Amino acid sequence: MTLSYELNRAIIVENNELPEDSIRLNSRVRVRELVSNKELEFSIVMPAFANIKDQKISVLTPMGAAIIGLCKGEKVEWKMPAGMKKFEILDVTQVTV
């Protein structure tokens, strides 16, 4: 459950082969942390564009790496700095830049 693990199991596909509701770079994502029921909304961006005040997180953060490639309705468990967290993907919107 590390970025290295995620990269090793990744499958490379063309952008048009991904389901419309899959999380990719520049996706706007809404998730719910399952224990607290707290909802978060943010965009997945390259590290140079990350800015927490603008709700933009890097694809290289634990959260970004955990959810990239997942689709609406899927659940994921990931080790965060505060411990293990479980999230459900509530919504995914593709943003064109």
What are the pLDDT digits (tens) for 4-35? 666 676 677 776 777 888 999 999 999 999 99
Tell me, what's the pLDDT at 36? 94
Rounded to two decimals, the pTM is: 0.79
The mean of the pLDDT values for the chain is 87
Q: Where are the strands (E) in 34-82, listed by range?
A: 39-45, 56-58, 75-80
The DSSP 8-state label assigned to residue 18 in this structure reads S
pLDDT tens per residue, range 38-54: 999 999 999 999 999 99
* Burial of 93 per CB tally in 10 Å (0-12, 13-18, 19+): middle
Among 74, 62, 60, 68, which Cα is nearest to 11's? 68
What is each CA distance from 45 to 8, 9, 28, 56, in whole angstroms? 20, 21, 10, 6
